[in-house]
Amino acid sequence: MSSYSAFQTLIPVRPDDIDMNRHVHNSKYFDYVLAARYDQMERCYRMSMDAFLERGLSWVVRASYIEHKRPLHIGDAAVVETRVEEIQSRGVKVAFLLTKEADGKAVAKGWLDYVLVTLESGRPRIIPDDIVALYSI
């Protein structure tokens, strides 16, 4: 298990997240994690996505995995917990767990493997030391 900090963001289920089976469509779970990461980048790590863009940097997903446990429905809210699992020279692996706010039961879990790229070339680059320090809390 990672020794890095875990952070949480509450994401309410929206009507347009619901599919024909009357629960949140599977594609929306990654959207919830992305929204939580944007919130946590600014609120918890103190470096927003805009700050990365101003430095000519961005994050892209290299690989992802999700395991669905139980559905979310309209009226539910998901607690999205993320934790840096591993910091590599050019990337960060982020583990996530979504739970239902009402009962704390696991909804989905998985990970995203991000790589840091330059906006100019779109090519991977080594993560600067100050960013490694921010993500190492």
Whether pTM > 0.85 for this model: the answer is yes
Of 109, 114, 85, whose CA–CA distance to 1 is shortest?
85
99-117 per-position pLDDT tens digit: 999 999 999 999 999 999 9
Cα–Cα distance between 57 and 50 in angstroms, integer?
Answer: 9
Residue 1 has pLDDT above 80, yes or no: no
45-72 per-position pLDDT tens digit: 999 999 999 999 999 999 999 999 999 9
How far is CA 128 from each of CA 10, 59, 131, 136, rounded to the nearest angstrom?
Answer: 30, 13, 5, 12
Residue 3 has pLDDT above 90, yes or no: no
| Portion of the chain with pLDDT greater than 90, in percent | 98
Q: What's the CATH number for 6-135? A: 3.10.129.10
Domain boundaries, the chain: 6-135
Residue 36 has pLDDT above 80, yes or no: yes
